[in-house]
Amino acid sequence: MKLPAVEAILGLAGIARATGDTARAMRLAAAGAVHLSLLAPDGAGYVDYQEVIERVKAACDPETWERACAEGRAMTLDEVANYALASD
């Protein structure tokens, strides 16, 4: 059930980007990318999510993206899910 959670997190990253919440989009996309690479290392069938990640990544500078990636790697999947669903 972890992979569907990561898919939902990446979907929420896309929504955050589309609604202008770039900071949330970066954290969600970075965390989603990290967990996706752990759960589906071959990446088969996840091209759509790579597009979300690339669009979010393009919305920030490389240093900010690297910081978001570090934060994402430090979060457990439960922490990412809680963050994704938080209203703040």
Domain boundaries, the chain: 2-83
Residues 8 and 4: their CA atoms lie apart, in Å, by 6
**What is d(CA 85, CA 88) in angstroms, rounded to the nearest whole number?**
9
Contacts of 7 (CB under 8 A, 6+ apart): 49
Helix (H, G, I), strand (E, B) or coil at 59: coil
Determine the pLDDT at residue 65: 87
Per-residue pLDDT tens for 10-66? 899 989 989 998 888 888 988 988 888 888 777 655 667 788 888 888 888 899 888
pTM confidence score: 0.82
Question: Structure tokens of 30?
Answer: 């970075």
